[in-house]
Amino acid sequence: MNAQTPKVAELNLPQAFLLLATNDQDGTPEVPVYALRTTLAGAILAELELIGAIGLQGKHVRATGTAPQTDFQHELELIRGKSRPHTPKRWVAMLEGRAEVQRVYEGMAALGIVEHVGEKHLGVFRTVLYPEKDHAPEAALLKKIQAALSGAPSDAGASDATASDATPTDVGARDAGTPAPAKPDATAPDARTTALIALLQAAGLLGKLVPAADKIRARELAKDYWPSRAVEDELRMIRLAEEEEPGI
């Protein structure tokens, strides 16, 4: 990893998810496009929750009083500005889209992690793909995920911990919902890694990335995590809608 490449702890959740959900070689998504967009929207909510900008109050997502500056300030202001609060599933549906996906990709391209590769037709870019340029960030993410699912301590666990990785008990009166093991565990992963595991599982990617993953431990880590539940609910509705579409 060179000096310009960010550490794993510096990647936000949407970046981490999108990096793992993209084929290293050709830059195509490893899941259907609708699943990529929906899970990315959930990752944005998860990122805002992790930094203390939003929380789940009852059945609705609400902005907190103060929050640090974030790459997703626009989304935070949308949540803060709503006169009527929405459910997590509703916010996932509102935030999903091609523009959000491309913006996160372009951010990683600026960091030198992926490469912007466009196909032109009549002088206009029609298809843009983002194959991997630097494998170090993805390798480090996978190492942390594998350690979390095996219960083994992660080499980077202690040193990479930041204020944004803190659990709700670390940051005060945060609403329940940040994924965490049911009991204190010396080998428990940080909240950011656990959130990423929950999102990957919701997208159907976890088993592909870590075939030997302990499924029981993965379910326990992701249990009751509201951003991933919202993703699962929205994906379920999309699939049901597709199944109900009349045939030709």
CATH superfamily name and code, 8-241: yeast vps74-n-term truncation variant domain like (1.10.3630.10)
What pLDDT is attached to residue 185?
53
Average pLDDT along the chain: 83
Query: Is the confidence at residue 158, as pLDDT, over 50?
Result: no
pLDDT at 157 over 80: no
Q: What is the DSSP string of the chain?
A: --TTSPPGGGS-HHHHHHHHTB-TTT--BSS-HHHHHHHHHHHHHHHHHHTTSEEEETTEEEE-S-----TTHHHHHHHHH-SS-B-HHHHHHHH-SHHHHHHHHHHHHHTTSB--EEEEETTEEEEEE--BS--HHHHHHHHHHHHHHHTPPPTTTTTT--GGG--HHHHSSPPTTS---SS--TTPPPHHHHHHHHHHHHHT-HHHH-TT--HHHHHHHHTT-HHHHHHHHHHHHHHHHHHHSPP-
At 84-134, the pLDDT tens digits run 999 999 999 999 999 999 999 999 999 999 999 986 565 665 788 999 999
Distance CA 144, CA 155 (A): 8
**Whole-number percent of the chain with pLDDT over 90:** 62
Specify the higher pLDDT residue, 209 or 221.
209
Q: Are 8 and 139 in contact (CB under 8 A)?
A: no
pTM, entire model = 0.81
In this prediction, residue 171 carries a pLDDT of 37
Which residues sit opposite 132 in a β-bridge? 114
- Whether 181 has a pLDDT exceeding 60, the answer reads no
What pLDDT is attached to residue 193? 95
Structure token pair of residue 140:
């480090």
- For 4, residues 6+ apart whose C-beta sits below 8 A from its C-beta are 111, 112
Lowest mean pLDDT among 3-17, 18-32, 233-247: 3-17
Check whether 13 has a pLDDT greater than 80.
yes
Token output for 31: 């899941």
Residue 58 token pair: 């009852």
Say what the pLDDT of residue 7 is. 58
As a whole number of angstroms, the distance between CA 82 and CA 147 comes to: 40
Torsion of CA 21, 26, 27, 28, to 10 degrees: -70
The predicted-structure confidence for 28-51, as pLDDT tens digits, reads as follows: 999 999 999 999 999 999 999 999
| Residue 14 reports pLDDT greater than 90 | yes
Question: CA-to-CA distance for 86 and 166, rounded, in angstroms?
Answer: 25
The per-residue pLDDT for 173 is 42
Instruction: Give the pLDDT confidence score for residue 141 in this predicted structure.
Output: 96
